[in-house]
Amino acid sequence: MTDREHASMPAEYAEYICFQDYSPQDELRRESLLGLGNGILFVRASAPEQRLTRESLAGAPETSPRYPGLYRAGLYDTVTGEVAGHSVRCTALPRLPDATILAARRPGSAWLGTDTAELLAYRHELDMLRATAVRSMTLRMDGASTRIEERRFVSAAHPYLAVIRWRITACDWSGPLEIADGIDSDVRNALVERQKAFTGRHLAGIAHRRESDGVLLVSATLAGQPIEIAVATRLHVCGSPENSMHAKWKKREACIQSRIIPLRQGEPVCIDKVVAVHTSRDTTAPNPIKGVLACVRGTAEPDTLELAHHRAWLPAWRQVRVDCADPETCRALNVRAFHVLQTVNTQSALEDMGVPARGWQEGYYGHVFWDDLFVLPEVGRNEHAHRRGALLYRYRRLDAARRAAQSAGFAGAMYPWRSAATGDEETPLYQFNPLDAHWMRDDTRLQRHVGASVAWNVWRYVEVSGDMEFLRQRGAEMIVEIARFWASIARLDESTGRYVIEGVIGPDEYHNAYPDAAYPGLDNNAYTNVMAMWTLPRAEKTLTRLDASARDALSIRIGLTADEPGEWANIARKMTVSFRDDGIIEQFDGFSGLRYARDPRSVVQGNARVDWALESQGDSVDRWQIVKQPDVIMLFYLLGETRLRLLLEQAGYRFDEAAARRTLDHYLVRLTHESSLSKVACAGALARHDSNLSLRYFMDALGTDMTPCSGSAHEGLHLGALAGGLDVIVRRYAGIEVEHGHLVVEPAWPPALPAIALSLQFRQQRLRIAADAAHVAITADIVNSRAASVFAEGTMHKLGPGETMAVRNRCPEG
């Protein structure tokens, strides 16, 4: 943030993002960063007057690209596109009609906006404490100055409502003012350039209506799914000394109405726009038209709506907000907590939806990847039920995962790399290379490791929450079916006596095939094999945690035989993990035989993605030891070195501390960090090896999506990277893990990292964590119902309500 942006910040600086200058080049990113959601709806922070100010320019080139976006979480449409001469199916999160349109002007003049008037003052901010976006601008046109102050929120109390509140003041003039509001259904998914061949228009059967009371209504159906959508708006005007006059017009697919109100110099007029969205999927209003009309007509006044929103938001926010001795670090951490909470929360937990990699925006089509591996620990830090809701999304798609495994010739459940509504594989067959306008084949659907992340999340949820009911009814079935998949995909190599997993792709993504191979896939990817080794015995332990009746019922339901658990354990003990002669873990068989570049970026010119650049040069990243994001390093981040070494030792491999450090060093110099998850994983992996280097990666990771005019934050925020930063704080720096029903605390706090305090929930008990270079202090909330079990410094402690214990930091400086 610039010095100008720092100026005049509120006292609660760490809970605000503020821009005090208008930057057309950065507007799309800010729309995403300052966007608001409530777990059901997401609204980009675009200027509501933009739709009409664009018309006022009368064909002049647009100087400030903006992209109003309204999205319904978990809603997907399926369309086809023409790609590389083939008709390709694609499932995507559709952009809904733009219901934010609101504009003002003096009659006969252009609509007021940053492109049409002289901008005298400007401010745009996100108030995380109130989950509100605030914008103010003073504009001068034809010698008259007008101030527009905007406050908007997506209601945390009412899942289908959003509100835009304007306060307009004539600074140095009096007279009539024309106000226009509307809904634009002439929308298509066009935010991500590389996706345009797939997506396009998702709305069909569009109908507009204006009710006698001024309510505007747009209804439609999705182009590729039998789902109905309705969007309605209602305008409230107060502070005007006279009755307003109405007019209306419709242009193409936009339904817009206007009214004239008198303004007196210095006397503000308040204009509030209430927006409601319903779909035929909503169980509370299966008739979406009736649902939205009831919402906009039956809701309270805007002041009451805003108060209800604040009261619903604040308790949840207090549980996730972070305190830090350094305001800038504190703000960066709070941005992460904020965007995770407004995506996965109490309202989303009641819906059937997963955790989208880029939030509920158009990036990655709104698909669900493995990012819940990074997100759910942060989600569960606030409330166990939020985490449970996201896991139910995976359980409801267990049958789809079974069908996928069967179709590929395997047993058990094979979860897809990219998921949407049905749980089927949604990875497009091609990805667009913008450097040479060429469509590259995309084989990343061979990332079979997603099942391991599902099992990991289920296991950790039960450990943290103690929710044995979930384990009995749903969790155990998922873990067991995932173990069955690993047992079936693993093949016994008679020559070595070990099991191998062939034809897969690891988290790295840059290596999809061997050079010049006819088919995609690699053998014995280290991350995949080790996580299979973790999952297989975990399934056996899961069964032992069930009582006899629950275990018998599960065995009968899924046809589990008595010898399967023993076979899982045998496969885990004999799983292949490839090592170089120097003890370094091989990313996959043959990785070390690829070409090596001392600087991974040196093989291409400019800042383009390495895989795109090499492909455009007639080369392939498959030929190089160049890694997009941590693959082997992910094992250190996820498991920690101690657990990783134990797994390897149980399989008969020697892997000491020196080999671990050589492995980390080996891959760090081969990374391009072209994934937002990359530096998060490196920070966590290095926490106990080199605190200084770990902290450098961590501080760099805090810049994800926060740097102006860079990256792809405008397409949607990287939820995994945002949440992962907080996971590093809790699991790797504070050293707080959960094992066997108690907390294990082994701090590795970097000495240069400022003191940080945050809250977490452990088995329905609230704890406060305060960490610094000297120690980690854990305080149990006075209202807790029982003591929490904490293992630290070789001793088991019982931490009763209101009690505090401190654990010394033993972080190596590195």
What mean pLDDT do residues 37-44 have? 98
The per-residue pLDDT for 516 is 92
d(CA 445, CA 428) in angstroms, rounded, equals 9
Q: Which residue has the tokens 């086809």?
A: 80
Q: Is the pLDDT of residue 541 over 70?
A: yes
Give the list of residues 6+ apart from residue 88 with CB closer than 8 angstroms, or none: 80, 81, 82, 198, 428, 429, 430
d(CA 78, CA 199) in angstroms, rounded, equals 9
187 burial level (CB within 10 Å; 0-12, 13-18, 19+): buried
The per-residue pLDDT for 781 is 96
The per-residue pLDDT for 58 is 60
CB 281 within 8 A of CB 40: no
Q: Is the pLDDT of residue 782 over 90?
A: yes
pLDDT digits (tens, 9 = 90+) for 51-73: 898 876 665 555 568 999 999 99
d(CA 652, CA 659) in angstroms, rounded, equals 15
d(CA 743, CA 733) in angstroms, rounded, equals 15
pLDDT digits (tens, 9 = 90+) for 762-775: 999 999 999 999 99
On whether both 422 and 559 belong to a single domain, the answer is yes
User: Residue 430: what are its φ and ψ, rounded to 5°?
Assistant: -135, 155
The per-residue pLDDT for 1 is 37
d(CA 517, CA 53) in angstroms, rounded, equals 55
Query: What CATH number does residue 408 fall under?
Result: 1.50.10.10
Residue 735 placed within a domain: no
The per-residue pLDDT for 389 is 93
- Name which residue leads in pLDDT, 66 or 10: 66
What mean pLDDT do residues 82-94 have? 86
d(CA 516, CA 440) in angstroms, rounded, equals 15
Q: Is the pLDDT of residue 711 over 90?
A: no
The residues assigned a catalytic role are 509
Look at the chain and count its residues.
814
Q: 3-state SS string over 117-176? A: CEEEEEEEEEECCCCEEEEEEEEEECCEEEEEEEEEEECCCCCCEEEEEEEEEECCCCEE
Which element (helix H / strand E) includes 739? Answer: strand 736-739
- Which of the listed residues 513, 546, 578 is the one where a domain comes to its end? 578
Q: Is the pLDDT of residue 333 over 60?
A: yes
Which among 214, 233, 199 has a CA at the least distance from the CA of 97? Answer: 233
What mean pLDDT do residues 292-314 have? 94
On whether both 291 and 391 belong to a single domain, the answer is no
Residue 291 placed within a domain: yes
- Name which residue leads in pLDDT, 708 or 614: 614
Residue 424 placed within a domain: yes
What mean pLDDT do residues 547-557 have? 96
Confidence of residue 424 (pLDDT cuts 50, 70, 90): very high
Angle at 540 between CA 537 and CA 546, to 5 degrees: 145
The per-residue pLDDT for 6 is 37
Residue 585 placed within a domain: no
On whether both 401 and 267 belong to a single domain, the answer is no
d(CA 480, CA 565) in angstroms, rounded, equals 9
- The Cβ-side half-sphere exposure at 611, using a 13 Å CA radius, reads 21
pLDDT digits (tens, 9 = 90+) for 432-476: 888 888 888 999 999 999 999 999 999 999 999 999 999 999 999
Q: Is 805 helix (H, G, I), strand (E, B) or coil?
A: strand
- Cβ–Cβ contacts within 10 Å for residue 794, how many? 5
Structural domain that includes position 164: 3-295
Instruction: Quote the number of domains for the chain.
Output: 2
Confidence of residue 7 (pLDDT cuts 50, 70, 90): very low
- Which of the listed residues 555, 578, 601 is the one where a domain comes to its end? 578
Which among 141, 103, 104, 138 has a CA at the least distance from the CA of 123? Answer: 138
- The Cβ-side half-sphere exposure at 275, using a 13 Å CA radius, reads 29
60 burial level (CB within 10 Å; 0-12, 13-18, 19+): exposed
The per-residue pLDDT for 8 is 37
Residue 624 placed within a domain: no
The per-residue pLDDT for 544 is 96
The per-residue pLDDT for 768 is 97
d(CA 674, CA 676) in angstroms, rounded, equals 7
Confidence of residue 87 (pLDDT cuts 50, 70, 90): confident
Among residues of the chain, what percentage have pLDDT more than 90? 84
Helix ranges (DSSP H) in 466-609: 468-470, 476-489, 526-545, 548-558, 564-573
pLDDT digits (tens, 9 = 90+) for 572-618: 999 999 999 999 999 999 999 999 998 888 888 778 899 999 999 99
pLDDT digits (tens, 9 = 90+) for 434-445: 888 888 899 999
The per-residue pLDDT for 356 is 97
210 burial level (CB within 10 Å; 0-12, 13-18, 19+): middle
Q: Is the pLDDT of residue 811 over 70?
A: no
The per-residue pLDDT for 3 is 32
- Which of the listed residues 265, 295, 325 is the one where a domain comes to its end? 295
On whether both 400 and 291 belong to a single domain, the answer is no
What mean pLDDT do residues 368-384 have? 94
- Would residue 380 be called left, alpha or beta, if left means φ above 0 and alpha means ψ between -120 and 50 degrees? alpha
Residue type, 185: S
Query: What CATH number does residue 9 fall under?
Result: 2.70.98.40
From 53-57, 169-173, 628-632, the region with the lowest mean pLDDT: 53-57
Residue 237 placed within a domain: yes
Q: Is 92 helix (H, G, I), strand (E, B) or coil?
A: strand
Residue 187 placed within a domain: yes
In angstroms, how far is the first alpha carbon of the chain from the final one?
A: 30
Which among 616, 759, 649 has a CA at the least distance from the CA of 316? Answer: 759
d(CA 788, CA 30) in angstroms, rounded, equals 42
Residue 610 placed within a domain: no
The per-residue pLDDT for 26 is 94
On whether both 393 and 244 belong to a single domain, the answer is no
On whether both 538 and 428 belong to a single domain, the answer is yes
DSSP string, 19-30: E-S--GGGHHHH
Which among 530, 670, 515, 666 has a CA at the least distance from the CA of 590? Answer: 515
